[in-house]
Amino acid sequence: MILARVAGRITSTIHHPDMTGRKLLVLDKLDAQGQSTGAYVIAVDTVGAGAGETVIMLDEGNGARQILGVANMPVRSVVVGIVDQIPG
């Protein structure tokens, strides 16, 4: 998993059927110090993350499909946790 920060969201009405009702967040990828790496990704939210929050993102298809419980879902990136703090 990687650290990321919620930078925004996208809304979509025309999409693959498995994406119906999914909240799609725009995430800035972070390095270990919490600084933006410049890269972004759009991920499915499973934890109710809000704008500006630091989150943990899983970027692996099989795990993403298991978490979302939908076989053959065309998703690789899912938010799996919200970070309280990064010690040190």
Partner 1 sequence: MFLGRVIGHVVPAVVYEGMEGVPLLWVQPLDKHGEPEGKPFVCADSTRMAGPDEMVYWEASREAALTLEPSYVPVDHAVVGLVNDLQLDEKNGGDA
Give the footprint of partner 1 on this chain (CB under 8 A).
5-16, 19, 24, 26, 28, 36, 40-43, 51-52, 61, 72-77
Read off the DSSP letter of residue 22: -
Tell me if residue 77 falls in helix, strand or coil.
strand
Q: Shortest approach of partner 1 to residue 11 CB, angstroms?
A: 5
Strand (E) or helix (H) holding 28 = strand 24-30
User: CB of 20 within 8 A of CB of 56?
Assistant: no
Q: What is the smallest separation between the CB atom of 21 and partner 1, expressed in angstroms?
A: 12
Q: Which residues contact 8 (CB under 8 A, 6 or more apart)?
A: 25, 26, 51
Closer residue to partner 1, CB minimum distance, 48 or 88: 48
Least distance (Å) between residue 75 CB and partner 1: 6
Q: Nearer to partner 1 by C-beta: 12 or 66? A: 12
